[in-house]
């Protein structure tokens, strides 16, 4: 599984693995049906990129199944999930 997108129950999940200090950290970008995207932050560290992406994907699917994914407001505000990051 490369850094591709997966559609699951009207959501698009993009599992990511980033190399950091000898390990791969798992992260997830999730887009709902209205096009609103959110980023998970670091979900855990793994020995290989594939395990990191698999974990991120399972984490996202579990959140969707449990209903813990935020529902958009009646008038959704579009903002970058990366607004707090600085170079």
* Rg of the chain over all Cα atoms, to the nearest angstrom: 13
Q: Are 11 and 33 in contact (CB under 8 A)?
A: yes
Residue 66, Cβ neighbours under 10 Å: how many?
8
Q: Does the global pTM surpass 0.85? A: no
| Domain spans in the chain, listed from the N-terminal domain onward | 6-66
Under a CB-based contact definition with an 8 Å cutoff, are residues 63 and 56 in contact? Answer: no
DSSP conformation class of 1: -
pLDDT along the chain (87 residues), means of 10: 81 96 96 93 96 97 87 47 42
- The C-alpha atoms of residue 80 and residue 5 are separated, in whole angstroms, by 19
- pLDDT for 39 equals 94
């Amino acid at each position: 599984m490369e850094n591709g997108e997966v559609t699951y129950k009207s959501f698009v999940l993009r599992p990511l693995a980033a190399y950091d200090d000898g390990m791969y950290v798992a992260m997830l970008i999730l887009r709902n049906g209205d096009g609103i995207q959110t980023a998970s932050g670091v979900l855990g560290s793994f020995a290989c990129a594939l395990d990191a992406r698999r974990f991120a994907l399972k984490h996202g699917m579990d959140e969707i199944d449990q209903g813990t994914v935020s529902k958009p407001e009646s008038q959704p505000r579009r903002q970058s999930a990366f607004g707090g990051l600085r170079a």
